[in-house]
Amino acid sequence: MAVKKSICLGVVCGLLLIFSFAEPIRGQDLSAAQEQEYLDAQKALKAARNAQAEKYSADNLKKAEDFLSQADSIRTLKDKSEFAQASHLARVYAELAEALAELKAEEEKLAATNEELLKIKDEIERLKEGQ
């Protein structure tokens, strides 16, 4: 009977020891600022997709998606620095993809407008010659 009590007491003490060291290994909770960076990265990725970044800036969009996926994976491990870095890089690449997509879309509009302007100028010249 005393042996059973000793074994149970040893097991309980062992489990307490394991759990007391398990928390520092797992990490601390993420800060509000780190959570906000992650949410900002998600919003930036959505904005980039809305700006047609897959058409105009696919590489940067892919990097943003990869970093956000990495942040998701790291989040469960609660590694603060890696989570923050992956979230930040996801946001930056998503914002870059959005900006490039908007720029290239505007360049296309400008090219179309210039082409239309040239057609109008040609039409004006043709009308002047006809007078």
* pLDDT tens-digit series, residues 106-129: 999 999 999 999 999 999 999 988
Q: Tell me 30's DSSP state.
A: P
**Residue 57 φ then ψ, to 5°:** -150, 55
Residue 24, SS3? Answer: helix
Q: Under a CB-based contact definition with an 8 Å cutoff, are residues 56 and 104 in contact?
A: yes
Q: Tell me 28's DSSP state.
A: P
Q: Rounded CA gap, 60 and 66, in Å?
A: 10
Q: Give pLDDT tens digits for 48-90.
A: 999 999 999 999 999 999 999 999 998 877 678 899 999 999 9
